[in-house]
């Protein structure tokens, strides 16, 4: 199914009865065609924080939680975000014997939509910690060039570093892209862990800023960043992780790695 057939950007009624068939899968393969050969594109995870989770216990009393979904990057499908929001809203008036029963139902339904094993961890609403970004913030640098659409040619190595080998983590809060269906802006913080010949930090900032008018789903933006950095700067190891801000009660945090030993733990930043 194409995203044009989804509920994204359309007026909809919020269901009050459990409705698993409202979940809308989107195949990853089409967006990956141009960089399917890039090592690491199918390695990693998409973490979603779901802030609007509620169901009824066996006595009919509402329960609430914050959920963290984990979708493998190897899954055939991602799940369109509005359909996921409506799915969780459809459970607001459904009774479950236990939290474990609710969790099992969610994992079954989302795994079917993604065509891979999806898990959910449930947290008390006061228990999700706020993390501080780790690494070197590059936002105060002067970008080498300003463009409004992704351009991998912006990426370059540091000419003054004499082929110095580094292992670093950079981050920027200046990531902005647009939903490909509604045109609504998506904001995020992007982390780049990199091992290889030292890159020009100003060029990486310019590249991140170049997504400013790009239309793409969160997962696709991260995979394009990963592929462009991998192919143009040729590091020996790479991680790209974007922590997008919340929209519709959801934030999406895709991460791709060339080496599974570089998988970070999921975090939640203050503006999420």
188 in a labelled binding site: no
Do 207 and 172 meet the contact criterion of CB atoms below 8 Å apart? no
| Catalytic annotation present for 179 | yes
Active-site position among 46, 186, 228, 251: 186
**Alpha helix ranges (H) inside 115-217:** 201-209
Task: Determine if residue 39 is labeled as part of a ligand binding site.
Answer: no
User: Residue 211 half-sphere exposure, CB side, CA atoms within 13 Å?
Assistant: 30
Report whether 131 belongs to an annotated binding site: no
Measured CA to CA, the distance from residue 83 to residue 266 in angstroms comes to 23
Alpha-carbon span 87 to 196, nearest angstrom = 43
247 is in an annotated binding site: yes
Q: Residue 17's CB: how many other CB atoms inside 10 A?
A: 9
HSE of 23 in the Cβ direction (CA atoms, 13 Å)? 21
Give backbone dihedrals phi and psi of 261, rounded to 5 degrees, phi first.
-70, -10
Which residue in 17, 19, 31, 20 sits closest to 180, CA to CA?
31
Establish whether 80 is an annotated binding residue. Answer: yes
Of 109, 179, 200, 221, the catalytic one is: 179
Q: Judge whether 232 is annotated as a binding position.
A: no
Is 218 annotated in some ligand binding site?
Answer: yes
Is 198 marked as binding a ligand? no
- CA-based end-to-end distance of the chain: 30
The two three-digit tokens of residue 153, written as one number: 């040619």
Binding-site residue positions for NADPH: 81-82, 247-248
Residues with catalytic roles: 179, 186
Q: Which residues are annotated as a binding site?
A: 79-82, 218-219, 247-248
Residue numbers belonging to the annotated binding site for substrate: 79-81, 218-219
């Amino acid at each position: 199914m194409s995203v044009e057939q989804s509920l994204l950007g359309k007026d909809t009624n919020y269901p009050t009865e459990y409705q698993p068939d409202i979940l809308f899968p989107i195949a990853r393969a089409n967006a990956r065609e141009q960089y399917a050969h890039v090592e690491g594109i199918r390695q990693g995870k998409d973490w979603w924080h779901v802030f609007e989770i509620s169901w009824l216990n066996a006595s009919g009393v509402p329960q609430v939680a914050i959920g963290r979904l984990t979708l493998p990057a190897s899954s055939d499908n991602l799940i369109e975000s509005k359909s996921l929001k409506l799915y969780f809203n459809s459970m607001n008036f459904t009774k479950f014997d236990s939290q474990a029963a609710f969790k099992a139902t969610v994992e079954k339904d989302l795994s079917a939509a993604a065509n891979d094993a999806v898990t959910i961890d449930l947290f008390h609403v006061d228990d999700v910690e706020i993390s501080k970004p780790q690494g070197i913030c590059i936002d105060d640098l002067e970008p080498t060039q300003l463009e409004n659409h992704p351009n991998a040619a912006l990426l370059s190595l540091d000419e003054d570093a004499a082929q110095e080998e580094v292992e670093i983590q950079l981050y920027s809060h200046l990531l902005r892209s647009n939903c490909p269906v509604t045109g609504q802006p998506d904001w995020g913080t992007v982390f780049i862990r990199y091992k290889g010949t030292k890159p020009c930090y100003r060029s990486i900032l310019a590249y991140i800023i170049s997504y400013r008018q790009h239309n793409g789903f969160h997962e696709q933006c991260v995979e394009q960043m990963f592929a462009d950095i991998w192919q143009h700067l040729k590091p020996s190891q790479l991680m790209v992780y974007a922590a997008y801000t919340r929209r519709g009660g959801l934030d999406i945090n895709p991460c791709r790695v060339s080496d599974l030993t570089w998988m970070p733990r999921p975090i939640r930043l203050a503006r999420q």
